[in-house]
Structure 1
Amino acid sequence: MTNQIAVWLAVFILGALMLDITFFGTEHVYFLGKKFYEFLEWLAFWR
């Protein structure tokens, strides 16, 4: 992945997250963040 692609991908993800928070609030983003952290902990267990 080139730097240009990485920057555009980061801009797209952050923009989508900002729109989501603007229109729907932060409750589900917080929930998904907690679940993603639990998933990472589960993956670390199997490492």
Structure 2
Amino acid sequence: MTNRIALALGFLVIAALVVDVSLYGTQHLIFLSKKMLELIEWIAFWR
């Protein structure tokens, strides 16, 4: 992955988070963060 692609993906994720927080508040963000941590732990276990 080149630096340009990594930066574009990073900006895309940040923009999506900003839109989500501005439209729906922070409750969805907290839920998604908890689920992402569970997924990372599950993947780390099977690695």
TM-score range, shorter chain: 0.7 to 0.9
Code of the residue aligned with 2:8 in structure 1: it is W
Q: For 1:2-41, what aligned pairs fall within 5 Å after superposition?
A: 2-41=2-41
- Which stretches in structure 1 are left out of the alignment for 5+ residues? none
TM-score with structure 1 setting the length:
0.82
Q: Deviations over 1:1-47 (max 9, x none)?
A: 11011111111110111011011101011101101111111222223
Q: CA RMSD in A?
A: 1.1
- Structure 2 spans left out of the alignment, 5+ residues: none
Identical amino acids, percent of aligned pairs: 49
